[in-house]
Structure 1
Amino acid sequence: MTADPELDRLAYDLDRAHVFHSWSAQAALDPLVIAGGRGTRVWDHAGRSYLDFSSQLVNVNIGHQHPAVVDAIREQAAQLTTIAPSTANLARGQAAERIVARAPEGFSKVFFTNGGADAVENAIRMARLHTGRDKVLSRYRSYHGNTGAAIVATGDWRRIPNEFARGHVHFFGPYLYRSEFWATTPEEECARALHHLERVVQAEGPTGIAAIILESIPGTAGVLLPPPGYLAGVRAICDRYGILLILDEVMAGFGRTGRWFAFDGHDVVPDLITFAKGVNSGYVPIGGVIISDPIAATFDERVFPGGLTYSGHPLAAASVIATLDAMESEGIVENARRVGAEVIGPALAGLAERHRAIGEVRGEGVFWALELIADRETREPLPAAAMGALKKDLVARGLLPFVQDNRIHVVPPCVVTDDDVAEAVSIYDAALGAL
């Protein structure tokens, strides 16, 4: 690409003049201009390059501009750009086939959506219709999307101004570093968190609860790996009271943890699985619900009252097929697992030894978080102003970070190399030292 700084200025000016940004007060925004990318790197029109350790919104699992996925979209566009979801389309069917092939036994159907939020929305709808119950339980530390029920299922601050959906109840999940249960070991945290959840179920009236929805690993809330036995314990509570378990794999699924699904490592099978992001790295918007056979059968003779104009869009379906095939043939999921265990984990542990601002390192695969603190004894979070300065410094040093609250989430694409990690860790090290 020929460097042209004037295009950066034009893109910036047009954005500030006409684009209304999400989750933001508009006046003070100063967006970074991105013109292109490949693999783990992106660049602007002037040629400034950045190592992308955010995967944008933790979705570009296969990396930027993977040629097989780009070619598949191009070929599908030449054949058929769009078709109504009421039709049968080969790309849509093959995408669904490849997705259920990676789900547990007993899942045969996929309902396609435009993204993760409406996947959650429709999973909740299915659970309510299947059970005839209304309430939905979810964690306070969670993010499930920005549509009606999905945002109310969310636990963080974004729920508060958007509480229009009915029948939602929240509970605390395990988070040993900041335990709500006075726990000192993973075993205590697991047992007490499960006891707390069961008491909430009992107090809310289990016969009125349709579903418990959990991110298999809460992502935006902090990459909170569940302690051993927690997800299986939630499954047991659901079974005890006839409640459906929805596992949200929108961020954690399709390679992010070094497994096809994050829950694969936790001896649990849900009733409904939501997905988006990594299934095609967001090259074309798509998400969906993978439906267990008993729930799918509910709608054999009963109309499912939901649908989207772009459900199973051919361009998106083609990108799913190419993504999953490339991830399989190129060993991309295995790469994420190896890099996480052998390179990222040890490197971040080394950072924690050198910088007292790092209170905890946690993660797996290419899904990690550095929790930053002002004091190791009190675990007081690093203030917002310091986090803002740190983010600005990381970008200035050529790294795109994912910064949330008092954390840096280390979430590169699954195709990240050992050299990429070494470069990123060097940048984190320098920025933390300057802090």
Structure 2
Amino acid sequence: MKRLTDPQEIMEKSKKYNLHSWSAQKKLSPKVITRAEGIYFWDGDGKRYYDMSSQLVNMNIGHGNKKVIAAIQEQAEKLPFISPACAIDVRSQVAEMIIDVAPDNMGKVFFTLAGAEANENAIKIAKMVTGRHKIFSRYRSYHGATYGAANLTGEPRRYTCEPGIPGFIKFFDPYIYQAPIRFENEEAATAYYLARLREQILYEGRDQIAAIVLESVTGSNGGIIPPKGYMQGVRDLCTEFGIMMVCDEVMAGWGRTGEWFAIDNYHVQPDMITFAKGITCGYVPLGGVIVSREIADHFDENVLYCGLTYSGHPMGCAAGIATLGVYKELNLIARAKERGVLLGNILEDLREKHPCVGEVRYIGLFSAIELVKDRATHEPIVPYGSDPHKIMPRILGMLMARGFSTYTHENCIMIAPPLIITEKELKDAMAIMDEVLTEVDAMI
């Protein structure tokens, strides 16, 4: 069958036959993309864009990596699919490679296709191991759009799945910038939020809670970085009450924060880590749950009631092996930390320069710019869960018009470029952000 080549025809057929995520369909005008390479992609008119969100914070190694493409091609010719019940070379090898870079207490991997499936299965595993039924997660979180993952999610994208599954409990994030209390320091904020979490655990029944699930660094809901001592405090609470600590690293994992996993920044060992995105950087789907040796041992004698047709898909595993090789060959974990220092300096300069910037948050190449109407009161540029005048889409459009591609959520602009970005590329792209923020200053 002849492939479509005309950009206008591609766009029209997309609108006619595709349902596009998170959108009312009638007014959509999807951008037609024809190719991508490195940190760039091009539209049907030949316009080039900096991919400053790594698409959906998954293209960590950038676009068009030849080694990963070759691994997929080779696997497609050798063995494109075999049942998850079988042992095959790539499935065994990538699992070993994942355990080698995971925290020291980790023992085995259960593979999925994506992050939502990973979180779904982590919930099931926590319930099976503990015999408990309640699951804690935070309000400013996103864990996926499948039914269980949506119930785990705290932000407004969960609403369409409510009333939801019994036993899903929300608690407040240590979101210091928008807290109703002005804390003296990070340690004071940590003490406050951990005390509230402990209180909630007691009210909900200390022997009823199977897991506390939290993004090691909150992703799309504002790039919220845990204050000093917070993650260790959550670990201590989980240990005290026999609760599984599950770190969602779907977005923050695989070098994004300058460590293999974001939780490594805090020297904490969770019971489970969920992952996807950067394990294959979107070249083909792969996700999974990394479980501790203690959990792995539990299933030596107890049935693991988890299963997916495409668990550990051979082509995904082959891509994962190649991708992990690229991380190591290009030293991308260390490069993310190094480039993150430059990005942090640029973001701090933007905060000083632009009244519309309330706070910037960054760790490695994972960052957010929080936009406000008033720095003194921290009033967001748009109310939480509402943007009636479409201010954030307007700002996004201003960036796109200049060739800067990213996404926004609530009142935050996400900045998370591929880890391969050079200093010059980072400076040039962020100069565009500087221009647009000048226009936003005028808007407020």
TM-score by length of structure 2 reads 0.95
- Match of residue 424 from structure 1: 429
Q: Which amino acid aligns with 1:239?
A: T
- Match of residue 297 from structure 1: 297
- Match of residue 334 from structure 2: 334
Shift of 1:267: 2.1
SS of alignment partner, residue 359 of structure 1: strand
Shift of 1:182: 4.5
User: Which aligned pairs between 1:380-399 and structure 2 lie closer than 5 A?
Assistant: 380-383=379-382, 384=387, 385-399=390-404
User: Which aligned pairs between 1:79-228 and structure 2 lie closer than 5 A?
Assistant: 79-163=78-162, 164-228=164-228
Shift of 1:106: 2.7
- Match of residue 363 from structure 1: 362
SS of alignment partner, residue 97 of structure 2: helix
- Output the CA distance in 2 between the equivalents of 1:17 and 1:124: 37
Equivalent residue pairs, number: 431
- Output the CA distance in 2 between the equivalents of 1:184 and 1:26: 47
- Output the CA distance in 2 between the equivalents of 1:43 and 1:99: 33
SS of alignment partner, residue 201 of structure 2: helix
User: Which aligned pairs between 1:308-323 and structure 2 lie closer than 5 A?
Assistant: 308-323=308-323
Shift of 1:5: 11
- Match of residue 344 from structure 1: 343
- Output the CA distance in 1 between the equivalents of 2:46 and 2:21: 27
Task: Note if contact 1:5-1:45 (Cα within 8 Å) is conserved in structure 2.
Answer: no
Shift of 1:386: 2.6
Q: 1:422 to 1:225 in 2, by over 3 A?
A: same
Shift of 1:25: 1.4
Shift of 1:404: 1.2
The C-alpha deviation readout for 1:252-285, integer Å capped at 9, x for no partner, is 0001101100000112100011000011111111
- Match of residue 20 from structure 1: 19
- Output the CA distance in 2 between the equivalents of 1:326 and 1:288: 20
TM-score by length of structure 1 reads 0.97
- Match of residue 262 from structure 2: 262
Shift of 1:227: 0.6
Shift of 1:320: 0.4
- Output the CA distance in 1 between the equivalents of 2:267 and 2:104: 13
Shift of 1:150: 1.1
- Output the CA distance in 2 between the equivalents of 1:386 and 1:131: 46
Shift of 1:308: 0.6
- Output the CA distance in 2 between the equivalents of 1:26 and 1:306: 35
- Output the CA distance in 1 between the equivalents of 2:185 and 2:106: 35
Q: 4+ residue stretches of structure 1 with deviation over 3 A?
A: none
Q: Which amino acid aligns with 1:434?
A: E
Task: Note if contact 1:176-1:184 (Cα within 8 Å) is conserved in structure 2.
Answer: no
- Match of residue 229 from structure 1: 229
Shift of 1:222: 0.6
- Output the CA distance in 2 between the equivalents of 1:108 and 1:192: 34
Shift of 1:302: 2.0
- Match of residue 416 from structure 2: 411
CA RMSD in angstroms comes to 1.4
Q: Which amino acid aligns with 1:153?
A: L
Task: Note if contact 2:367-2:416 (Cα within 8 Å) is conserved in structure 1.
Answer: yes
1:43 has 2:42 as partner: yes
- Match of residue 280 from structure 1: 280
Q: 1:208 to 1:86 in 2, by over 3 A?
A: same
Shift of 1:135: 0.3
The C-alpha deviation readout for 1:117-149, integer Å capped at 9, x for no partner, is 010010110000000000000111111111122
Task: Note if contact 1:133-1:209 (Cα within 8 Å) is conserved in structure 2.
Answer: yes
Task: Note if contact 2:4-2:10 (Cα within 8 Å) is conserved in structure 1.
Answer: no
Task: Note if contact 2:360-2:368 (Cα within 8 Å) is conserved in structure 1.
Answer: yes
Task: Note if contact 2:134-2:210 (Cα within 8 Å) is conserved in structure 1.
Answer: yes
SS of alignment partner, residue 83 of structure 1: coil
Task: Note if contact 1:362-1:370 (Cα within 8 Å) is conserved in structure 2.
Answer: yes
Q: Identify unmatched segments of 5+ residues in structure 2.
A: none
Shift of 1:6: 6.2
Task: Note if contact 1:34-1:42 (Cα within 8 Å) is conserved in structure 2.
Answer: yes
Q: Identify unmatched segments of 5+ residues in structure 1.
A: none
Shift of 1:335: 0.9
Q: Which amino acid aligns with 2:226?
A: P
Q: Which amino acid aligns with 1:224?
A: I
Task: Note if contact 1:5-1:46 (Cα within 8 Å) is conserved in structure 2.
Answer: no
1:8 has 2:17 as partner: no
- Output the CA distance in 2 between the equivalents of 1:78 and 1:229: 49
Task: Note if contact 1:212-1:245 (Cα within 8 Å) is conserved in structure 2.
Answer: yes
